[in-house]
Amino acid sequence: MFRTESTMTRFDAVSLSILWDRMVAIADEIVSTLVRTSFSTIVRDSYDLSVVILDAKGRLMAQGTYAVPVFIGTAPRTLAYMLERFPPETLRPGDVIATNDPWIGTGHMFDISMMRPVFKGNHLVGYTMSITHLPDIGGLGFGAAAREIYHEGLRLPICRFARDGVMDPFLEELIRTNVRVPEQTIGDLMANIACNEVGGPMVTAFMDEYGLDTLEDLSDSIGDYSERVMRARLAQITDGRYENLIQIEGTEGPIPMACSVDIRGSEVSINFAGTGGCVQRGINVPFCYTNAMSLYAMKCLTIPSLPNNSGAVRPISVSAPEGCLLNARPPFPTGGRHAIGHFIPGLIFGALSKAAPDKIQADCGMMDLMTVQGTHRDGRGISTIYFASGGFGALQAHDGGDCVPGPSNMAVVPVEVWETITGTTIEGKSFVPDSGGPGTARGGVGQEVVIRNDTGHPMTIFCMANRTEFPALGYLGGKPGARRVHEINGKEIDAKGSYILNPGDRISMVEAGGGGIGNPDDRDKANIERDIALGRVTPEGAARDYRYQG
């Protein structure tokens, strides 16, 4: 028996756990289909993706276990916009609705959101949605160099991308005509269609197995339980208004980034008033991304182990003044919005460092994305992304992971795969000792990656890095990590710029370290000795930062 009757149908605790886990497992199967059928490394190897299942009311029920955090926060909003354009009664089995509009989707045009309605018989019972980063969508390419949104590529309004599971031939031709690597881009789009095509029948088979006519009752139970747990955890944080102000590197000087976090009982409101204005470069952040990163930060502080769903975010409200860097509007460019948006969790953690000192994380060295465009030795076009990571911020009693991304969680393309598809050579990858912020718990160290252009052709690169001026901060007495540096042939370059890498040129990416937590003088001697033995800290660094005498 999977249901108990009251004024509203509810599931007992054991049944709810079983059904909820099954929904997550279905989402994981959809992810597997997406990865196995994709053409680009950004999806197949780096997992810059998400898959979600939503009920007929558009409420998030389940997500794939491996998912980029921000996509979870944007998916329900994207679906709401889609249903305004294509109301539920106009949808048919096999339809796929899509958009890459930054303000409707995930904040920049390089992500495609694709939704398929799920029908059980003649009744629409829910939706599946996949979101992936595309290898190319035209324009200048994925980077921060654009001066306005029109430079950044092909912006698709909400459209019926497929009928009966078949891609619209005009849209396919339009996209092929506008991108550098049409086979990769079209291949990834077809992978999105395929995974949603697989997902719908799995959802209805699940419903048949457990005798569910709709998903509404199960969605109510998942959401209500998650909301109760979230409210209980928020109530454990002392009421008050907590503020934080930091400086971040812009394109023409530092930019202030501010937030206030108001905790009132079991609810929280986050406001970003005081943040600087938008800039004429592609690092502006649409509010959908700001909202998603804020929700992610609060979930990390409260219920990190609970699967994401719409109920968990009901007690949280987020706002930002229109026109500020975190609420950009057209025509400001947004391609590299992650370079700014990834500061949001750390900004919130800093605000709550006194209210929840046992829960916050020190700042992360963050991820480093670089777009590479050019021609392979064999004549093929290249348009792809290299990803490297700085160190993870420390937590109380836990060192930060070395070269672990945060707040995003993309995976690194294997060296052998990268060299094969690009014709470049990765000359070396090595840890950067002493780059992790000292503390009772040490910040994760960064790495140095050196890439040589062996294609025989000039390559265009777009850098989208941060932490070059303002390092990852430590908290509760912990120290900051080392800053990030980009160099071409030994000369430092703008980490948000665009450059030509001629044959034989080398770019070096020295990644930032994560911040530490707690007073370095309190670090256990055995941990210091282990760090030295592993090469994460030098003897000189140990003496300087920890007063270690050996």
pLDDT, one tens digit per residue, over 15-42 is 999 999 999 999 999 999 999 999 999 9
pLDDT tens for each residue of 321-347: 999 999 999 999 999 999 999 999 999
Helix (H) or strand (E) holding 177: helix 169-178
pTM exceeds 0.85 for this model: yes
- At 300, the pLDDT band (50, 70, 90 cuts) reads very high
Structure tokens at 56: 């007929």
Q: pLDDT per residue over 522-533, tens digit each?
A: 999 999 999 999
Name the nearest CA neighbour of 113 among 182, 54, 179: 54
pLDDT beyond 70 at 3: no
Q: Which pLDDT belongs to residue 9?
A: 52
Tokens found for residue 236:
């454990």
**What residues contact 265, with CB distance under 8 A and at least 6 apart?**
234, 235, 239
Measured CA to CA in angstroms, residue 383 lies from 33, 60, 507 at distances of 23, 33, 17
Mean pLDDT over 118-136 rounds to 97
Tokens encoding 7: 């004024």
| pLDDT tens, position by position, 403-442 | 999 999 899 999 999 999 999 999 999 999 999 999 999 9
pLDDT in tens, 208-227: 999 999 999 999 999 999 99
pLDDT of residue 70: 86
> In angstroms, rounded to a whole number, what is the distance separating the alpha carbons of residues 381 and 374?
6
pLDDT classification of 250: cutoffs 50, 70, 90: confident
Look at residue 69 in the predicted model and tell me its pLDDT: 84
Beta-bridge mates of residue 71: none
Tokens standing for residue 77 = 């909003």
Which strands make up the sheet holding 267-271, listed edge to edge? 240-249, 254-264, 267-271, 316-319
Helix (H) or strand (E) holding 123: strand 123-133
- State how far the alpha carbon of 532 is from the alpha carbons of 403, 430, 439, 463, in Å: 17, 15, 15, 32
Per-residue pLDDT tens digits for 476-521: 999 999 999 999 999 999 999 999 999 999 999 999 999 999 999 9
B/e letters for 120-148, b = 16+ CB within 10 Å, e = fewer, are beeebbbbbbbbbbbbbbbbbbbbbbbee
Q: Is the peptide bond before 331 cis (omega within 30 degrees of 0)?
A: yes
For position 99, what pLDDT does the model report? 98
**Angle, in degrees to the nearest 10, between helices 216-234 and 287-302:** 70
* pLDDT of 6 over the 60 cut: no
- How many percent of the chain have pLDDT more than 90? 94
Residue whose pair of structure tokens reads 């698709």 in the numeric block: 156
Map out the domains of the chain as residue ranges: 13-227, 361-550
Q: Measure the CA–CA gap between 237 and 354, rounded to whole angstroms.
A: 10
Is 8 a residue whose pLDDT tops 70?
Answer: no
Q: For residue 470, give every residue at least 6 positions away whose Cβ sits within 8 Å of its Cβ, in sequence order, or none.
A: 246, 247, 248, 249, 254, 483
Q: Do 466 and 343 meet the contact criterion of CB atoms below 8 Å apart? A: yes
Tell me the pLDDT of the chain averaged across its residues.
95
DSSP string, 84-113: HHS-GGG--TT-EEEE--TTTTTSSTTEEE
Q: Is the pLDDT of residue 354 over 80?
A: yes
Q: Please state, as a whole number, how many other Cβ atoms lie within 10 Å of the Cβ of residue 172.
A: 18
Among 328, 323, 329, 325, smallest CA distance to 344 is for 325
The stretch 364-376 carries a mean pLDDT of 96
CB 128 within 8 A of CB 79: no
The pLDDT of residue 195 is: 97
How much is the average pLDDT of 267-274? Answer: 98
pLDDT at residue number 71: 86
- What is the mean pLDDT of the segment spanning 192-203? 97
> What's the CA gap between 116 and 43, in Å, rounded?
19
% the chain with pLDDT above 70: 98
Q: Which residues contact 85 (CB under 8 A, 6 or more apart)?
A: 97, 157, 158
How far is it, in rounded angstroms, from Cα 345 to Cα 333? 22
Tokens of 544: 């300087």
Q: Is the distance from CB of 500 to CB of 455 less than 8 angstroms?
A: no
Contact 326, 275 (CB under 8 A): yes
Cite the DSSP H helix spans in 303-431.
338-341, 343-351, 415-422
Secondary element (H or E) of residue 292: helix 287-302
Residue 136 near residue 179, CB atoms below 8 Å: yes
382 - beta bridge partners? Answer: 374
